[in-house]
Amino acid sequence: MSSIRRYLVTVLIAMLTLTSFMAALQSYRESISRADQLFDDDLKVLAASLLQPFAAITPDDNVSSVVQIWRDKELVYSSSNAPKQRIEAPLGYSEQNFSGQRWRTFVQISTAQLQSSAAGQNNPKNSPDSKPTTAAVNQTTVQPELRVLVAQPLKQRQQLADEVVLASIYPVVLSLPLQALLIWLAVSKGLSPLLRFAEQLSGKKADDLTPVSLSEVPVELSQVLGTTNQLLAKLADAFAREKRFASDVAHELRTPLSVLQVNLHNAIAQWRQAGVADPAGLMPALQDGVQRMSQLIEQIMLLNRTNPEHFKAKLQNFDLAALSRDVIAELYPEILRKNQQVELTGAEQMSVSADTFAMRLLLLNLLGNAIKYTPAGGQIKLALAQQTKQIRLTVEDSGPGIDPKEYQRVFDRFYRVGGDRHQSGEPGSGLGLAIVKEIVALHGGSLQLGPSGFTSGLKITVELPQ
Burial 62-98 (b: 16+ CB within 10 A, else e): ebbbbbbbbeeeeebbbbebbeeeebebeeeeeebeb
Return the SS3 of 69: strand
Give the pLDDT score at 121: 47
Please determine, for residue 118, whether its predicted confidence score (pLDDT) is greater than 70: no
Please determine, for residue 160, whether its predicted confidence score (pLDDT) is greater than 80: no
> What's the CA angle centered on 72, arms 71 and 76, to 5 degrees?
30
Please determine, for residue 329, whether its predicted confidence score (pLDDT) is greater than 70: yes
Over the stretch 200-237, which tens digit does the pLDDT of each residue have?
Answer: 888 877 667 888 888 777 777 788 888 888 888 888 88
Query: Distance (Å, rounded) from C-alpha 289 to C-alpha 455?
Result: 33
pTM of the model: 0.47
Give the pLDDT score at 137: 46
* For range 97-108, the mean pLDDT: 87
Give the pLDDT score at 380: 92
Task: From residue 29, give the alpha-carbon distance in Å to each of 25, 36, 157, 389.
Answer: 6, 10, 19, 66
Count of other CB atoms within 10 angstroms of residue 303: 18
Residue from 464, 456, 457 nearest 362 by CA:
464
Task: From residue 351, give the alpha-carbon distance in Å to each of 119, 325, 354, 356, 387.
Answer: 129, 14, 10, 12, 12
78: β partners: 68
105: β partners: 94, 151
Query: Distance (Å, rounded) from C-alpha 93 to C-alpha 186?
Result: 55
Residue from 360, 316, 341 nearest 398 by CA:
341
Please determine, for residue 325, whether its predicted confidence score (pLDDT) is greater than 80: yes
Average pLDDT of every residue of the chain: 76
User: Is the Cα torsion angle 194, 195, 200, 204 positive or negative in sign?
Assistant: positive
Return the SS3 of 317: strand
Residue 434 — pLDDT band, cuts 50, 70, 90?
Answer: confident
Rounded (10°) CA dihedral 409, 412, 418, 423: 110
DSSP codes, 183-251: HHHHHHHHHHHHHHHHHHHHT--TT--PPP--SS--HHHHHHHHHHHHHHHHHHHHHHHHHHHHHHHHH
Contact (Cβ atoms closer than 8 angstroms) between residue 40 and residue 169: no
